[in-house]
Homo-oligomer: A and B are copies of this chain.
Amino acid sequence: MAKLDNGPARGTRDFPPAAVARREAVISSIAESYASFGYRRVETPALESVERLTGGQGGENEKLIYKILKRGLPEHLPPGTVLSDLTDLALRFDLTVPLTRFFANNHAQLPIPFRSLQIGSVWRAERPGQGRYRQFTQCDIDVLGEPTVLAEAELLEATAAALIALFIEPITVRLNDRRVLSSIALAAGVSGGTTAGYFVTLDKLDKIGWDAVGRELAERGFDARVAASTEELLGYLADSSSEGGMLDRLGDALPDLGVDVLNDLGQTASALERLSREHEGMTFVLDPTVVRGMGYYTGQIFEITHPSSSSSIAGGGRYDDLIGRSLGRDVAACGISIGFERVVDLARIDPPDLGVAVLYEGEPSTDVLAAARAIRKLGKRAALVPRKKATRQQLDSLYSEGYRAFVTFEDGRPATPRSLGPDSS
C-alpha cells in the first residue's frame, strides 16, 4: 500500500483524549441541564433517504448534502447514466428534519407534549474554514405538540440554564416573531415575492450597519424608499425605553399585526424578564431585526448571543407546519439549537481527574499489578505507566494530563510516596 496522508479527511477533525474529555463533559452538563426540564434524548440514524433530505426544508443546506452511492452498481456505467439515479441515501445535514420523521413515525408511543433532546453529528460539504467543519455536533431541544408560548419560554429558560451551568456569561436572549418581520416588510413597501432577499439583508444589520444594508437592498433591486422606511420604522421601535414600550410601538407601527402575536410576545417577554432579574449573567431584548435563516419558521424566533462570538451561540423558533409534511396533519412544534462547537470553546470545564498513575521499571511485577488492582478496588482510577529516566519531568507531565496521585516502584518495590501539588506543575 502506498503511504497515505494520515490526517483526517479535509474539513474533519480527530479528537485526542483531552479534547474528547472536554466535549463529553460539555455534553453531560448540557444533557443534565435539559433533563432537569424533562427533555429526553432521542437518536436517529446518520443516513436518511435522499428524497427526504432534498424535500425543500433545508434551504441552502440541501446543496451541501453528502450523498451515498447505491451498492452493487457496475464499475463501467452505461452511457446516458444520470447522477441522481446513482444515490439512494445521504448523510443528515441537521437534526430537525430527522426529528420530524421520527415524530411522525413514533408519535403514538410518545407523551404529548414531547420534549426531545438530540446531540449528534451532522455533515455538510462546506468549504472548510475557521470554525467551519464538514462534520460537527449539533445539540437541539424541541417541544412537539405544545401550541402555546409555554414552549418558547421553557426552551429559552432551559437553554439559558444550560449555558449558565457551563459558566457561559453574559448572554443576551433576542426575541422576535416571523409575523412581525412580515409586517415590517409590508409596512416598508416590500412586495410579497421579494421578502426572502429583504430578510437576508436585514439579518446583516448588526454586522454591517444601515449604509451597507441600504446599498445591498438597492443591489437587490429594492426601491430606495424601502431602506428609508425600514430604517425609520426600526428607529421608532428601538426608541422605546422598555420591552413593554416596544410592544406598544409594534402595535402602533404595524396595524396589520394580530393582537394574539403581540399578546404571545408579551407573555414570552415577561417570562424572560423575570429570568433576567434572577440571573445577573443574562439580559433580554425584543429585537425586530432577528431573522434566523431557515424558511420553515411560523411564529416566534429567537437567538442567544455572547460578546465573544460574532454569530449567535444558540437559535431557533416555532415551526408549526413542518411535521405536517411527514405526518399528514400539523403538529405544533418549537425548537432551539445550541452551536455546540462554539459552546465547547466558551465553556469553563474542570480538567479530568485521571486518578493514580502507577509507575514501574522494566516489566511490571506482581506487586505493581496488585497495587493498581487495590487502588481500583477503592473506587479510584489507576493506570500502569512505564517509568522514564527523568522521573520528575515525567511526573509533571502526568500531572498536567490529569493524574492526581502517583505510586512509584523501584526494583519492583514501592518507593517513597511522592505527591505533587498544583504549584509544581
Residues of A within 8 A of B (CB): 1, 3-4, 6-9, 12-17, 19-21, 23-24, 35-38, 40-49, 51-52, 55-56, 66-69, 71, 73-77, 79-84, 86-87, 89, 91, 101-102, 104-106, 109-111, 113, 115, 121, 123, 125, 134-135, 148, 150, 154, 271, 325-328, 354-355, 363-364, 369, 376, 380-386, 401
Contacts and interface: CB of A to CB of B under 8 A. Distances in A.
B38 A381 contact: yes
Total copies of the chain = 2
B66 A68 contact: yes
Contact of A106 (B14, B55, B121, B125): B14
Nearest to A158: B376
B16 A110 contact: yes
Nearest to A13: B45
B44 A8 contact: yes
Contacts of A328: 3
Which of A45, A380, A386 lies at the interface centre, i.e. has the most chain B CB atoms within 10 A of its CB? A45
A204 to B, nearest CB: 27
B8 A45 contact: yes
B327 A6 contact: yes
A161 B35 CA distance: 29
Contacts of A148: 363
- Report, nearest first, the 7 A-B pairs whose CB atoms are least far apart: A38-B383, A17-B40, A12-B45, A6-B105, A15-B43, A6-B104, A20-B41
A68 B135 CA distance: 14
A125 B12 CA distance: 23
A153 to B, nearest CB: 8
Given A75-B82, A77-B81, A325-B1, A42 B56 contact: no
